Structure 1
């Protein structure tokens, strides 16, 4: 998918709008990228609550795999088959806002009794508000954290990431050392798995940006590419060495699922704790490691949006308001850290998920308070497409990291 395809949606908006009046107003189709039964049960419970005041309305949650989500959603919109609502990532928000495909839900939010729009964190709403329009509400403002297999750490006699975070020795270099020590080829255990095992493709940004920022680099600042800076290159080299020098990170084309016990460490968000319900090992979570530039908490954000071409736009806006009110945000907080200040500051948030201790949930809260959202840009789909071949060029043992990152900046700079 390219930025041009999103632009075409502006035309599709007008065409689809003409079709809207002929459609049923009793079913809302809502696209998500989760397949977790725990997440879907929670979402369906929220939909059942909405049905108490809207008895003729059903909400259908359609799962699109994360790696295909933006492309398939865009094709649905352009093809005249729009969902009514959906999840949308922070890096896609500016492009979808610019394309005019998101409905302005501001009037509905402000007209909903008890909604308390002012309770939404202003910084968290930054990507979703333009002028006086509100194009979405974040349901998850979630920092990336480290999950580790405590059983493997204990068996190896290593100090855990939790302990190191407390004594100030939890760094990316230490994670690299731990991953190499915990790699057990005979047992089929890798040292480190990238985010959702997709760190070379769909989640390459999620994989590299936290390390790059801890080293003092970034994707870009003030419209200037920073991937080729000395700090960014040093960070990418660290990860490259984990893959090709140490052999500790799961390499491209291999499988090593942390949640099945086949990797000692991974980076993910708190929502993934649902995958640990039935594991046969002890586990723990820790903040992202620090680097030469100190701690650099990185946040992924996702919002609930209603689509301008949707067949039930008013009803979709009402459901969006219901889903993001205080009570339902408190319910979702078990997996998705909230943008509502009152919920985030509550004791209920720290105890919202019985599988996570209050001490562990504090790590999430602290990451939200100090973290920076992943890179976003109104041309991000085009930037991502231009950058993909350059990122792909990193994944060989003899890759010249500096040369690759220099070319990446040359390719995306005109878009910035």
Structure 2
């Protein structure tokens, strides 16, 4: 039912957008802007509110509030708010929902609301543009890397030896010797399969074709990648199996795949650790990143003020502050030295390998129009694979059977 509500809300979103823009407070009266986010992380909230307070200091009539919604149903909650007439002024948009929001007509073009647009790396804006217009600012382009507990993996392979075979071998060895878990794909938990993209892309596997019309799960690269993942879980015991909880940041696992925004969880870690790029695979060295954009909703009550706050929130100075958790799209800030200033827990060389090189060469996690319905269909069709002895090719054929009609809808 939730998936159908999202689809219906996106249709309504487009029809509402056609009714005209929201109003602005031209007389300088009091304005309260509301921006939805998915993060209730204490450090993130403090940073956002500090930026908002600085903006309020320069614009006393404008107050900015942040509405943190659970990530598990974030897009559902936002689209429900919009469909119910409780439209936020600004919204944090996940990459999986970008095609729906960008194509819906619900977002205000932002080309005149971004400071120094020539600084923005073109690779970061592809998902957020339509007809040449920027419809959301990609304030976070965050490649995936591997955090490693070097107390549990003291002999971490490096250079050309850092491959997926080596990574799983090291994770298995650490799990056996420590009694803890090996490699945790963060936020996967046998639910959000898109968080396996940092693994399966090593084989050149893609969920669907570049034009989004053809399923890729039954293609050989995905069959090979998912076979590798299945063996790592059930044969090697290198990845925690279904129902097994393991928090790398609490010391429960040897490695985890995630983004640098989680580094703050390691500030007081009782173990030594490092951050390294994704291991190379059959396609060689590669990178995968997640993105988040900020959009201004046409049906928000204060469009002009929202655009002005967006300009301030994403200007050079605040972009540098946000870089502590959300790698910026601005090329002058994508240097090891600059990122290290905002990320003191991480070494410049690690930031270069994972973040800078990842942004320049990586691909974004899977996204598609009507993504909520498609993602749920994939999740359900993959369920038979998460058990010993599963027929991986047959399961993946079943995924394509389930989603091919949705891809061309």
Contact 2:335 2:352 in 1 (8 A): no
- Choose from 246, 268, 272 the match for 1:256: 246
**What residue in structure 1 maps to residue 296 of structure 2?**
306
**What residue in structure 2 maps to residue 329 of structure 1?**
319
**What residue in structure 2 maps to residue 135 of structure 1?**
135
Contact 1:16 1:80 in 2 (8 A): no
| Cα distance between partner residues in 2 of 1:47 and 1:19 | 21
Shift of 1:253: 2.0
| Cα distance between partner residues in 2 of 1:400 and 1:380 | 26
**Structure 1 alignment gaps of length 5 or more:** 110-114
Shift of 1:335: 1.4
**What residue in structure 1 maps to residue 74 of structure 2?**
69
Please list the CA deviations of residues 293-312 of structure 1 after superposition, one character each: whole Å capped at 9, or x if unmatched.
Answer: 11121111111111122122
Contact 2:291 2:364 in 1 (8 A): yes
Shift of 1:284: 0.7
Contact 1:210 1:297 in 2 (8 A): yes
Shift of 1:150: 0.9
The count of aligned residue pairs is: 397
Shift of 1:247: 2.4
**What residue in structure 2 maps to residue 177 of structure 1?**
169
Distance of aligned partners of 1:247 and 1:132 in 2 relative to their CA distance in 1, 3 Å threshold: closer
**What residue in structure 2 maps to residue 55 of structure 1?**
60
- Choose from 374, 396, 402 the match for 1:405: 396
Contact 1:27 1:57 in 2 (8 A): yes
**What residue in structure 2 maps to residue 112 of structure 1?**
none
Residue 380, structure 1, aligned to residue 371, structure 2? yes
| Cα distance between partner residues in 2 of 1:56 and 1:35 | 26
Contact 1:171 1:291 in 2 (8 A): yes
| Cα distance between partner residues in 1 of 2:84 and 2:24 | 14
| Cα distance between partner residues in 1 of 2:52 and 2:24 | 22
| Cα distance between partner residues in 2 of 1:108 and 1:181 | 52
Aligned positions of 1:64-143 closer than 5 A: 64-109=69-114, 115-143=115-143
**Structure 1 ranges of 4+ moved more than 4 A:** 12-21
Residue 153, structure 1, aligned to residue 141, structure 2? no
| Cα distance between partner residues in 1 of 2:238 and 2:245 | 13
Distance of aligned partners of 1:235 and 1:317 in 2 relative to their CA distance in 1, 3 Å threshold: same
Secondary structure of 1:247's partner? coil
Shift of 1:387: 1.6
Secondary structure of 1:311's partner? coil
TM (normalized to structure 1)?
0.89
Shift of 1:59: 1.7
Please list the CA deviations of residues 170-210 of structure 1 after superposition, one character each: whole Å capped at 9, or x if unmatched.
Answer: 1111111111111159x6621121223x3411x31122x22
Please, which moves more after superposition, 334-343 or 349-358? 349-358
Distance of aligned partners of 1:328 and 1:67 in 2 relative to their CA distance in 1, 3 Å threshold: same
| Cα distance between partner residues in 1 of 2:284 and 2:82 | 42
**What residue in structure 1 maps to residue 185 of structure 2?**
194
Shift of 1:144: 0.4
Contact 1:165 1:287 in 2 (8 A): no
- Choose from 165, 172, 175 the match for 2:158: 165
| Cα distance between partner residues in 2 of 1:253 and 1:103 | 43
Q: What's the Cα RMSD here?
A: 2.2
Distance of aligned partners of 1:165 and 1:413 in 2 relative to their CA distance in 1, 3 Å threshold: farther
Aligned positions of 1:334-413 closer than 5 A: 334-345=324-335, 347-363=337-353, 364-413=355-404
Contact 2:120 2:330 in 1 (8 A): yes
